[in-house]
């Protein structure tokens, strides 16, 4: 099966960052990271989901957390310099980031937003994040991801 490189993969190529593009079977009725982890046969703690939020003071920002976990909105607001924050409405995801639900990559959004990743990412040599299209994950070093996307490592759950 030929895998088409995504914009996120091309950005990593340009930065000379080592990664693998890993395809998986998409289930349109279940776009959860838990389902992705099952398809990849990997622990869900290593499959990170990318969430886009809007704070009351700073506007849009991004949180990346382990797939089975829930984002703590109070912690997200605090680390991002907001009093409160909420997930952006689904209809705003594509125009804001360039990505659709189930394929939102922290790499290569339309513009750079402040980005935060949960600290457990550093316990793994490599993690999975969306490659920017449904059915494709990027497997890479969390430190490479952090450096390339300028991510702050914090406690988000």
Q: Give the distance from CA 25 to its chain's centroid.
A: 18
pLDDT digits (tens, 9 = 90+) for 51-86: 999 999 999 999 999 999 999 999 999 999 999 999
- Predicted confidence at residue 3, as pLDDT, reads 82
Ordered domains of the chain (ranges, CATH): 7-154 (3.90.960.10)
Give the residue-averaged pLDDT of 110-128.
98
User: Pairing state of beta strands 115-118 and 85-87?
Assistant: unpaired
pLDDT of residue 124: 98
How many Cα atoms are found within 13 Å in the side-chain-facing hemisphere of 111? 7
Q: Whole-model pTM?
A: 0.97
């Amino acid at each position: 099966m030929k895998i088409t490189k995504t914009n996120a993969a091309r950005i990593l190529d340009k930065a000379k960052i080592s990664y693998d593009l890993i395809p998986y079977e998409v289930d349109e009725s279940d776009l959860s990271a838990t389902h992705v982890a099952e398809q990849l046969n990997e622990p869900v703690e290593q499959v990170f989901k990318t969430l886009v939020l809007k704070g009351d003071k700073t506007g849009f920002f991004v949180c990346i957390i382990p797939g089975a976990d829930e984002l703590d909105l109070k912690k997200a607001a605090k680390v991002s310099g907001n009093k409160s924050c909420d997930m952006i409405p689904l209809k705003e995801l594509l125009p804001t980031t360039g990505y659709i639900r189930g394929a939102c990559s922290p790499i290569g959004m339309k513009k750079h937003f402040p980005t935060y990743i949960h600290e457990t990412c550093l316990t793994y040599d490599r993690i999975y994040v969306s490659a920017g299209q449904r059915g494709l994950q990027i497997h890479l070093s969390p430190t490479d991801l952090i450096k390339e996307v300028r991510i702050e490592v914090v406690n988000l759950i």
